[in-house]
Amino acid sequence: MRHKVFAYGNLMEGMPLYSTSDGVTILGTGTVHGTMYYAGFPRVLLGGTSLVHGEVHEMCDSTLRVFDHLENLRAYADDPTWYKRLTCVVTMTNGTVYENVWIYAPLQAGKGWRVIPHGSFRRYMKGEA
């Protein structure tokens, strides 16, 4: 089975964990409704009117399991501020809308998390606040 995953941080092309993304096809860039935070690494709370920028990756079951491991889903299963694999709707730059796309996102914000108002981890890494 093939899965779509919205990547908005270190799993995006050119970012530190991208090299672990063997077997991933990048379908393009897009946005989800949510708020991006920085807490040592990027996190997104879904919902609201703000947009978060990222990429849609397509992958097989085994690669999705690798992503689950990278995001430590089991180790922090009871922590609502840690990543969960949730579904979201992504609007691609070309106007295509994908529903039921996986995203790694927490259920609530943690103490001291800093909002990234423009919603782009790439811009944040270039020093844009």
Q: Is the pLDDT of residue 109 over 90?
A: yes
| Per-residue model confidence as pLDDT tens digits over 30-67 | 999 999 999 998 999 999 899 999 999 999 999 999 99
Average pLDDT score over residue span 96-119: 96
Instruction: Report the alpha-carbon distance of residue 95 to residue 13 in Å, rounded.
Output: 21
Residue 94's identity, in one-letter code, is: N
Instruction: Report the alpha-carbon distance of residue 13 to residue 5 in Å, rounded.
Output: 13
What is the pLDDT at residue 32? Answer: 98
Contacts of 91 (CB under 8 A, 6+ apart): 30, 31, 32, 97
Q: Are strands 84-92 and 25-38 parallel, antiparallel or unpaired?
A: antiparallel
Q: Are strands 84-92 and 97-105 parallel, antiparallel or unpaired?
A: antiparallel
State the sign of the Cα–Cα–Cα–Cα dihedral 32, 34, 36, 37.
negative
CATH no. for 2-125: 3.10.490.10
Token output for 114 = 């800093």
Residue with tokens 């981890």: 121
**CB-based burial of residue 18 (10 Å sphere; 0-12 exposed, 13-18 middle, 19+ buried)?**
middle
Instruction: Report the alpha-carbon distance of residue 104 to residue 112 in Å, rounded.
Output: 20
pTM of the full structure: 0.93
> What are the boundaries of each domain within the chain?
2-125
